[in-house]
Amino acid sequence: MDFNHKKVLVCGIARSGVAAAKLLKDLGAEVTLQDLKIRDKIEINLDEMEKSGFEIYVGKNPDDIIDDFDLAVISPGISVYLPFVEKALKLGIPVWGEIELAYSLCPCPVIAVTGTNGKTTTTSLIGDIVKRYNPKVEVVGNIGVPFAAKLKNLGKDSCVVAEISSFQLETIHAFKPKVSAILNITPDHIDRHKSMENYIAAKESIGKNQQPDDYMVLNYDDAYCRRIKTNARRVFFSRLEQLEEGFFLDGNIIRARFDGEDRNVLNIDDMQIFGNHSIENTLAAVAAAACMKIPYDVIKEAAESFKAVEHRIEFVRELHGIRFYNDSKATNTDAAIKAIEAMRQPIVLIGGGYDKQSDFGGWVKAFQGKVKHVIVLGEVAEKIMETCLAYNYTQVERVNTLKDAVDLAYGKASPGDCVLLSPACASWDMFENFEQRGMLFKKFVNDLEE
């Protein structure tokens, strides 16, 4: 699309929206920025944006103005089921996300990672691997860096590694990664997608435009992933099965049977991240890097030196023999179960938050033999307590604040235990995002007196 003199509505005045708006302005578009928040609640300096030539429309939905535009670019937090989006589509006005916009101008190959859990770790590890081989790499997307903000750094010999959420996948059209990866699919965001079928369809769409010379990396151990059909070449990884072709765990060794080779890649005991979920993330990253023809010795070195990303089973502190871990990024039950399984010590668990219409039964079952006490807070606290009692788990207490949770958890833990913040819920009831929740947890832990 030629954006010069096009009228574009950008909905959502935050990181990705502002990056998209600035890119479009540079391309000659006439840009209007819209947000439901009133002016005083928006962190971006709107006066400066107006001085730079942007129109501002805040405090309401754009239902009455949408028909004046040639294109709408919506942020991931905006539902595609809203009336103004449906109106735009009926009028033939394209509705894109920032990922689609940036991709339409991207001159280089893209590796795109999605899945219910493990996206950030896998994306970060792939980024580390690629950077050792080709320094001209940008890691973008749902990881917190807008794709549009990094376009100026890219050339034909560059590479983009992108974490892509289901929300971002709802607004792709021509997006076609050279390598896509779907790590796993478990129930999440059903409140937004309306059904599990819609959620699965969003995840699968990451490869809808791929061709036979592209690759789709899939988790063989996940029933949904194993059934996915695609025009791309399917490349499986497995922690549980020794595959005839693909990437798998053989004892403690990650092994590759790929493109005519059968070789050992690395020993998981040499990695600095732990837990079954970390092995699966590493298998996916190894597979994606191999699809990009990156040498195995480069892959091995990067995987062995890689450390856990912030807010994902992140060690915070040890105090009087009690170890504290920040797993604020566990915003669904499947991620929180993986964190429980990864811990080697008895756990005092902090959970709860915003209700995404999740079923907490499987999470509570995972407490058996691992979790000695649970402390819950947030919008969904009562629902979690009821689920605990339904499964005859009685060591559960409710608090009002995260600081109260940290203080109580420290009091309940004994030397040799760990305190684990792994909420199994989104953060939006009490915090701006999971990062803020994790940072506050770390602050409260570090404020505990010796």
Give the Cβ contact number of residue 258 at 10 Å: 19
Q: Is the pLDDT of residue 188 over 80?
A: no
Q: Give the whole-angstrom CA distance, residue 102 versus residue 95.
A: 14
**8 Å CB contact between 54 and 32:** yes
What letter does residue 145 receive in the DSSP assignment?
A: B
The pLDDT assigned to 194 comes to: 76
The H or E element spanning position 376 is: strand 371-376
Alpha helices in 292-431 (DSSP H): 296-305, 333-342, 361-365, 381-390, 402-412
Over residues 1-19, the pLDDT tens digits come to 899 999 999 999 999 999 9
Chain mean position to CA 396: 29
Quick one: pLDDT band at residue 310, thresholds 50, 70, 90?
confident
Cα dihedral across residues 172, 174, 175, 177: positive or negative: positive
Look up residue 179 and give its two tokens: 């390598």
Domain ranges of the chain: 7-93, 100-305, 314-447
The pLDDT assigned to 333 comes to: 94
Over residues 130-148, the pLDDT tens digits come to 999 999 999 999 998 999 9
Percentage of the chain beyond pLDDT 70 is 100
Quick one: pLDDT band at residue 307, thresholds 50, 70, 90?
confident
- 351 φ, ψ (degrees, to nearest 5): -145, 175
Rounded average pLDDT over 238-249: 97
Q: Is the pLDDT of residue 364 over 90?
A: yes
Rounded average pLDDT over 351-363: 92
CATH 3.30.499.10 fits 100-305, yes or no: no
Q: Give the whole-angstrom CA distance, residue 235 versus residue 258.
A: 9
Three-point CA angle 172, 196, 175, nearest 5°: 10
Q: Give the whole-angstrom CA distance, residue 25 versus residue 20.
A: 9
The H or E element spanning position 159 is: strand 159-163
The pLDDT assigned to 344 comes to: 86
Q: Give the whole-angstrom CA distance, residue 445 versus residue 156.
A: 46
- Amino acid residing at 261: E
In the Cβ-directed half-sphere of 289, how many Cα atoms lie within 13 Å? Answer: 32
Q: Is the pLDDT of residue 191 over 80?
A: no
Which of the four CATH numbers 3.90.180.10, 3.90.78.10, 3.40.50.720, 3.40.1010.10 does domain 7-93 have?
A: 3.40.50.720
Q: Is the pLDDT of residue 156 over 90?
A: yes
- Look-up of token digits 């791309």: 232
The pLDDT assigned to 309 comes to: 78
Q: Is the pLDDT of residue 189 over 80?
A: no
DSSP 3-state of 441? helix
Rounded average pLDDT over 253-280: 94
Q: Pairing between strand 253-258 and 246-250?
A: antiparallel
Over residues 204-225, the pLDDT tens digits come to 999 999 999 999 999 999 999 9
- Look-up of token digits 């129109």: 55
Cα dihedral across residues 336, 337, 342, 343: positive or negative: positive
**8 Å CB contact between 159 and 135:** no
The pLDDT assigned to 308 comes to: 78
The pLDDT assigned to 25 comes to: 97
Over residues 330-356, the pLDDT tens digits come to 999 989 998 999 898 999 999 999 988
Following CA atoms 107, 108, 109, 114 in sequence, which dihedral angle do they give, to the nearest 10 degrees?
A: -70
CATH superfamily placement of domain 314-447: Mur ligase, C-terminal domain (3.90.190.20)
Alpha helices in 38-149 (DSSP H): 46-51, 83-90, 98-103, 119-133
DSSP 248-303: EEETTEEEEEETTEEEEEEEGGG-S--SHHHHHHHHHHHHHHHHTT--HHHHHHHH
Quick one: pLDDT band at residue 150, thresholds 50, 70, 90?
very high
pTM value? 0.81
Q: Give the whole-angstrom CA distance, residue 282 versus residue 123.
A: 10
The pLDDT assigned to 245 comes to: 98
Over residues 281-295, the pLDDT tens digits come to 999 999 999 999 999
Chain mean position to CA 97: 16
Q: Is the pLDDT of residue 65 over 90?
A: yes
